[in-house]
Amino acid sequence: MRVHVGFIVFCLALTVAGCTDSSEEIGFAGLAQQVGEVDESGFLQPQPGDTLVFPDDWGPHPQHRIEWWYLTANLQTRDGTPLGLQWTQFRQALQPRDVESDPPDADAWPLEAAWMAHAAVSFDGEHRFQEKLARGDVGHAGATAQPFSVWLDDWRLQPMPGSDDWRLQVNGDGWGYDLRLSNTGDVVAHGNEGFSAKSASGEGSMYFSLVDLQIEGTVTLGDRTLEVSGKGWFDREWSSQFLKAGQQGWDWFALHLEDGHKLMVFRLREDDGAFLSGSWINANGEVQSLGGDDLNLKPASWYESKRGRVPVEWRLTIPEQEVDLIIAAPPGEYWNTGLYPYWESPVSVTGSHDGVGYMELTGYSD
Amino acid sequence: MPGPILAVERLSKGFKSGGQLVPVLRSLSLGVRPGESLAVVGRSGSGKSTLLNLLCGLQTPDDGIITVAGESFHRSGNTSFEARWAELRRRSIGVVFQEANLMPALSLMDNVRLRAHLAGHLSGNERGWLERLGVGAEADRYPDQVSGGQAQRAALAMVFAMSPALILADEPTGSLDRHTADAVADCLFAMQRETACALVLATHDTELASRCDHMLDLSGAG
Amino acid sequence: MMLVRAFVSHYRRHPFQLAALALMIVLATMLWAGVTVLTDQARSSLFQSEAAVAARVHVVHSDGQPVDVDDFADLRMAGVCVAPWLEVQRPPPEGRVVGIDPLAMNCFGESAPGGGAGTLDGTPFLDISEAAHLSREGHESRLYLLAADKNLALPQGYVSREFSLGPPTGELADSFLLNLDALSLLVLLITGLLVRSVHRLGIAQRGGSFDLLYRFGVPRRRVRQLLALELVALAGVCVLPGLWLGAQLAGVLGSGFGQALDSLFDVTLYAGSADSLPWQAAGVMVLLVLAVCLVDWVVPQHWQGVAGSRRGRLVAALILSSGLVGVALAPNLAWVFAGTALVFAGAGWLTPGLLALLAQRLSDHASLDENDLLTRWRRRELAVMFRHLALPVVALQYAMATVLAVQALVTTFESTFEDWLAQRLEAEFYVEVPQGADAGLAADRLRKLEGIGAWHQVSRGEARISVEASGSEGDTVAVDLFALNPIGDLVVGWALMASVNQPWQALEQGGVMINEQLARRRQLEVEDTLEITLAETVTSAKVVGIYSDYGRPAGEILMSGATLPRNFSARFESFSINPGALTMAEISEHLAETWNTHDLTVRDNASIRALASQVFGQTFLLTRAISLLTLVLAAVALLIMGWVFFTTRAWYFRLLGIWGLPAIVVRGQLRRLSVTLTLAITLAALPLGIWLTWALVSRINPLAFGWSLPMDLYPLFWLELGLVALVTGLVIALLMRRQLVHRASEKQVER
């Protein structure tokens, strides 16, 4: 589950800087239209019954307003020290485009879509983060389904030549990584065949994941180069509108448990409660969708961070599965301080099951 | 016998205090001829200073008529009174207060000169007046460089130098020791007789008052 | 507790004094806080603007082919941080617009033009998609790929070149900021004097009570502690509203200017300043209040008596002259500032005493007859006032001198900058010679064009010079070379600081001109002979002129392009062109044809000039506002002090009335007295102000930057200042008159 108000804020900034779009079109609180309806600006809204189409859905969805490609990884260095790592690339459309239409001329420096990439490495209590921006259709940022490739400047996810694996390269200021990603499982479709509801009234997004990624490669921090390996979690998600008015932020978890189960849970915080959803995936890749009645997710302890009070420890119970977990971030500050700051940290899992995973918290920054 | 230089008929004056009119002077009448002296006595607050202020036009009466040197003033309302009073003070009425009669920025000599000049009597003999009052040696000093007695003598010199028809003196020796006060009073009366001007002297010093030709006690009048 | 009550009872009896002191602290804090905020804004606005027009780097193909959007994408994907800059030339009145991509600029971080994406907002900047649209409509355009850093690791086939968005203003701005800082210090000094003057007034009146307390057995140390405590409390309480008012003031001024100047960079310049109070200003203010009010404890008692004595005046005169000499001879900036401080100290010390002395002398000379006796009295009164009001008098003098100097400085800056820009951007257009193109061919072509206006070819490169006369062998220095050909109408109007007769002819015949920086640094004068090494050719040339050059510290020589050796290779070549009867498009066409390219950079200098002027316009306004505010505060202080002082003299004005002087005459005397007071201060401020102007433009600037500004005086402004003084005097008289009327009523009985 990844919704980025930040991206929307960033696009608002674009309008200030002379972009053609008007801010009303991209406000995140205006989710008033009927599900499935094409809104006034022509963007398509996912609805129950929509299904995933491969390989097209690996590539961009120009009729939708927002989407992302997102990787989190719980890795270890050779000496066993844990290392967390994140890469995300967003596309925010300022105007919709038919799938059949040709993209605009690069010469025109079009501003139909803007791209943003985030990369972070959390290691040894330190969190490094960097953000990149670009306009679409000019060439230096984009995504294709076949061959599958996502790039912004010299950050790119692309096929490893002569293999089914992927290669992810990121060069930050004084740090970076170069990873090989091998997928050993099937695509996990969340919610209803890939339609993942985001509120009780039925709005939602299309959402699928790869949860069995084996990763190895190098992470460079300053003049140190670390060989790393471990597990990854890859998300694809697109929609045109996410947050309803009254939704303040979200808490998202993707966990690898030691017994082979995987778990994705998110909670959208609303004025009068929360909208909870998730997926319970067994070692064979069978998915059970979880609703608000199946789940119990509560902060267990809070941390006074530099940017605000953050719930860094959580209690998650799924009674039917006899799951009772404590999910905790390691000590440190894990703010991704881009245009819109949010908390993104690796987590460890204890309780009924042990494990590792990632946690994303938005809406807690002062 | 010459007519009075100063005549007062049915003079009344009161002050507003807490919304009520407190009478100070009630239907007072008096007359002073040239060469005569009148002592105004009474306890503090009996209206001595008020009377003197009325007699030189610094305050206006509630009722009654004041005639000075042939000019009559009654209850105000006429703005030309102000200018006429000013002219009278400038040329004919010498006023002496208990202290601070001199401009501190000017020497004693220049004070006398300025006053005489204003009265139109600048004669060049101003130093003579200072000498006659016993402060000739201090003529070029400034008021803050001489004693209180010397300052009052200079103030008298200043008044006589303008050759006034009427002198109004409000406790002129009030801030001086007995000895100095007597000396200053001696000067005052001697010069008054010599110049034959009229003198109205407000004081609560009965000894000083007794040296005047007439006495008006405001204690009962108020 | 009783002690404290006894201590503050004074203010219960004289609430006006407490109010005056509080008001002074509030106003002083307001001014200082306002100045701090405004100065910071001026500083950051200059930095922002400068960053926006500062020289940068752009990336080009090494084979000279124009770059396009694919090059941009390739470079970005190769990890090079470049951003597109699409200049579109439209016919007037729209002129040039620049398309930028704020998203791409994100990779520059802090070093982005204007300091970050979003800052380059508004004319002439627009989103690059709109600029591209204009370009597609047929307007001439050119794409640059800007980079932040000269030392880029570029893929093969690309090289970086210098790219200037406007004339370099760096040093001029630095100089301006230095002067702004000096001004802020003066403001602090003036406010300090004002606070002290009001405080002294209270202390003088409380002397009796303090003595009484001492006699009652309270140690003097305890009294001082209480006094200090009282000040801390008062300052603490008053500083807060002062801070708030200061921030408001800055906000009002800032936003007023922001609105008034519909300029390039007005978006963020003044925004947000009112949100945060300048707390450090509060600390400075409390310290200042304590320092100026309690300085007497540190200065020995007998010194204070000496201040007004003849010996004191002698010391002051010594201080003043050593300051004057110090500033004139100072080898570096620190000495100039120290000297300036001495001059102000000496002048401030001397002024009230001298004015009093003068008034006294004049009074003695008034003849003894007629109205002159009143004049004599008035002058004596004036002398007394100068002594008693010494501190506010000096504060007003300082404030006026500061305003004078700042006004002169700012006006000089403005005109100098305008002139300099006019010199540097002499033609309406200039055309860069593309890499590899032959400038000579183009010059031949232009020569043959009929109807073209004035033009010349500019070549820039490096040279080394040594001074023949100096005799020191091998002492050569690298300088910038600036060559023009032909020497024509575009330059002969330059104002030269020094020159031979007919300098431009001399230049054409092989002479050389040098910039002021070089002249000062190498102590060169007109007629000196230089040995110039150009492309391994050594020639001798006489200095035929010295020109001012405010942009940068580098030494520069100006030569005729015709005298350059054949093998000289220019680092940069361009043509400055007035189209005359032709249009620039026609001329461009000829040049493009000559060079067989369509990749011509034609710049419209008017818009560059406007950009650079705006940078200073705002700052000039701010500076004027600051100095005027100081003046207002000083005038208000004098008003308060004058009023308080007059109260103690009121009796004597009434005495004049008792002596029969008509009220109208008394008021006239009062008016003449107060107006003479303020006008005399203005007169006393004039020499100090003129001297300060001189120190700023002729001493501080050359020492800091290697070039001086012309010294101009603006007597009309003196008159304006006189008017302010007149008004202040009249207001004092008016206030006083109310007091006379009030007191002349029934209360007089008590006298």
pLDDT in tens, A208-253: 999 999 999 999 999 999 999 999 999 999 998 766 666 788 899 9
Q: Do C748 and B105 touch (CB under 8 A)?
A: no
Query: In 3-state terms, what secondary structure has residue A325?
Result: strand
Which chains does B contact via 3+ CB–CB distances below 8 A? C
C584-600: string of b/e by CB count within 10 Å (b at 16+)? beebbebbbebbebebb
Q: Look at residue B76 in the predicted model and tell me its pLDDT.
A: 58
Beta bridge partners of A208: A189, A236
Tens digit of pLDDT for each residue in B157-168? 888 888 888 999
CA-to-CA dists, residue A362 to A83, A259, A340, B18, B135, angstroms: 22, 29, 9, 72, 96
CB contact under 8 A, B105 and C384: yes
Q: Does the predicted TM-score (pTM) go above 0.90?
A: no
Judge whether residue C494 has pLDDT over 70: yes
Least confident of A111-125, C335-349, C612-626: C612-626
Judged by CB atoms closer than 8 Å, whether chains meet at A154 and C130 is answered as no
pLDDT digits 0-9 by tens, A174-200: 999 999 999 998 999 999 999 998 888
**pLDDT score of A329:** 95
The pLDDT tens digits of the residues spanning C399-426 come to 888 888 877 877 777 777 677 777 767 7
pLDDT higher than threshold 60 for residue C122: no
Q: Could you tell me the end-to-end alpha-carbon distance of chain C, in angstroms, rounded to an integer?
A: 36
Higher pLDDT, C57 or C383: C383
Distance CA C194, CA C292 (A): 9
User: In terms of CA atoms, which chain B residue is nearest residue C652?
Assistant: B103
Which of A16, A108, A134 has its CB closest to that of C104?
A134
B135-149: pLDDT as tens digits: 889 988 988 899 888
Residue owning tokens 């380059």: C120
Contacts of C596-600 with CB under 8 Å at 24 or more apart are C597/C64, C597/C434, C597/C437, C599/C64, C599/C65, C599/C66, C599/C142, C599/C434, C600/C142, C600/C431, C600/C432, C600/C434
Residue C669, SS3? helix
Residue A311 to residue A252: CA distance in whole angstroms: 12
CB contact under 8 A, B89 and C660: yes
CB contacts of C76 in chain A (<8 Å) are 134, 140, 153-154
> Is C562's pLDDT higher than 50?
yes
Residues in chain C: 751
Q: What is the pLDDT of residue C277?
A: 63
Contacts C99 to A, Cβ<8 Å:
109
The interface predicted TM-score (ipTM) is 0.89
Residue-wise pLDDT tens digits, C297-336: 776 666 666 666 778 888 889 999 999 999 998 887 788 8
**Structural domains of chain A ordered from first start:** 5-361 (2.40.370.10)
State the pLDDT at residue C119: 46
Nearest Cβ partner of C659 from B53, B113, B115? B115
Do residues B41 and B206 lie in contact, with contact meaning Cβ atoms separated by under 8 Å?
yes
Q: List residues in chain B touching C: CB distance below 8 A.
A: 15, 49-50, 53, 56, 58-59, 82-83, 86-91, 93, 95, 97, 100-101, 103-106, 110, 113-115, 117-119, 122
Strands of the sheet with B37-41, listed across from one edge? B93-96, B166-170, B198-202, B37-41, B214-217
What residues of C are in contact with residue A171 (Cβ under 8 Å)?
A: 79
Tell me what pLDDT residue A62 has: 93
Instruction: Look at residue C368 in the predicted model and tell me its pLDDT.
Output: 56
Please judge whether B104 and C370 are an interchain contact, meaning their C-beta atoms are less than 8 angstroms apart.
no
C73-116: per-residue pLDDT in tens?
999 999 998 999 888 877 655 666 788 888 888 887 755 554 44
How far is Cα C467 from Cα C527, in angstroms, rounded to an integer? 12
Q: Amino acid identity, residue B73?
A: F
User: Nearest CA to CA, how far is A342 from chain C (Å)?
Assistant: 19
Candidates C370, C375, C651, C659: best to mutate against B (most CBs of B within 10 A) is C659
Does A114 contact C at CB distance below 8 Å?
yes
pLDDT tens digits, residue range C214-263? 887 788 788 888 888 888 888 888 888 888 888 887 776 655 444 333 33
- Provide the pLDDT confidence category of residue A309 given band limits of 50, 70 and 90: very high
> What's the pLDDT score for residue A189?
95
Chain C residues close to A139, C-beta within 8 Å: 69-70, 72-74, 77
Residue B18 has pLDDT above 80, yes or no: no
Calculate ∠ Cα A287-A289-A292, nearest 5°.
Answer: 155
Note the pLDDT of residue B163.
85
pLDDT, chain A, mean: 86
Selected residue with higher pLDDT from B132 and C255 = B132
For residues C704 and C463, the model is more confident at C463
Nearest CA to C342 among C317, C359, C323? C323
| Mean pLDDT computed over C36-61 | 66
Q: What pLDDT does C41 receive?
A: 66
pLDDT in tens, C619-660: 566 666 766 777 777 777 777 777 767 777 788 888 888 888
The residues, ordered by sequence, that sit 6+ positions from A173 with a Cβ below 8 Å of its Cβ are: A130
The minimal CB distance from A14 to the residues C70, C102, C126 is found for: C102
Contacts of A154 in chain C (CB under 8 A): 76-79
Distances C103 to A11, C49, C707 between C-alpha atoms, Å: 10, 20, 41
Chains C and A touch (3+ CB pairs under 8 A): yes
* pLDDT (0 to 100) of residue C271: 33
Of A111, A139, A151, the CB nearest to C69: A139
> How high does pLDDT run on average in chain C?
77
Tell whether the model's pLDDT for residue A317 goes beyond 90.
yes
Chains B and A touch (3+ CB pairs under 8 A): no
Mean pLDDT of the C13-20 span: 77
Range in A280-289, B27-36, C57-66, C379-388 the model is least confident about:
C57-66
Is C369–B122 a contact, with Cβ atoms under 8 angstroms apart? yes
> Looking up tokens 């009230």, which residue turns up?
C352
Angle between helix B108-119 and helix B80-91 axes, rounded to 10 deg: 130
pLDDT confidence of residue C45: 59
> Are C76 and A151 an interchain contact pair (Cβ–Cβ within 8 Å)?
no
The confidence score (pLDDT) of residue C553 equals 61
Contact of C750 with chain B, judged by CB distance below 8 Å, is answered with yes
pLDDT digits (tens, 9 = 90+) for C580-596: 888 888 888 888 888 88
The per-residue pLDDT of chain B, averaged, comes to: 85
- The C-alpha atoms of residue C594 and residue C198 are separated, in whole angstroms, by 77
Nearest residue of chain C to residue B50 (CA atoms): C749
CA distance A115 to chain C (A): 9
* CB C76, CB C59: distance < 8 Å: no
Q: What is the pLDDT of residue C255?
A: 52
Neighbors of chain C by Cβ distance (3+ pairs < 8 Å) = A, B
Which pLDDT belongs to residue C259?
A: 39
φ, ψ of residue C78 to 5 degrees: the values are -85, 5
Q: What is the pLDDT of residue C404?
A: 84
Whether B86 sits inside 8 A of C381 (CB atoms) is: no
Q: Give the containing element (helix H, strand E) for A214.
A: strand A204-221
Q: Between A87 and C357, whose confidence is greater?
A: A87
Minimal C-alpha gap between C130 and chain A (Å):
8
What per-residue confidence (pLDDT) applies to C701?
A: 74
Beta bridge partners of C538: C533
- Are the C-beta atoms of residues C366 and C375 closer than 8 Å to each other? yes
Q: What is the pLDDT of residues B76-87, one digit of tens each?
A: 556 677 788 888
B115/C746 Cβ within 8 A: no
Put simply, the answer to whether C102 touches A18 (Cβ < 8 Å) is yes
Measure in Å the smallest separation between the Cα of C78 and chain A Cα atoms: 6
Q: How many residues does chain B have?
A: 222
Q: Does a cis peptide bond (omega within 30 degrees of 0) precede residue A103?
A: no
| pLDDT(C55) > 50 | no
**Residue among A16, A107, A109 minimizing CB distance to C101:** A109
Q: pLDDT tens-digit profile of A9-47?
A: 344 334 333 333 333 333 222 222 333 445 567 888 898
Q: Which is more confidently placed, C349 or C265?
A: C349
C664 touches chain B (CB under 8 A): no
pLDDT one-digit tens code per residue, C152-183: 788 998 988 776 554 444 555 566 666 667 76
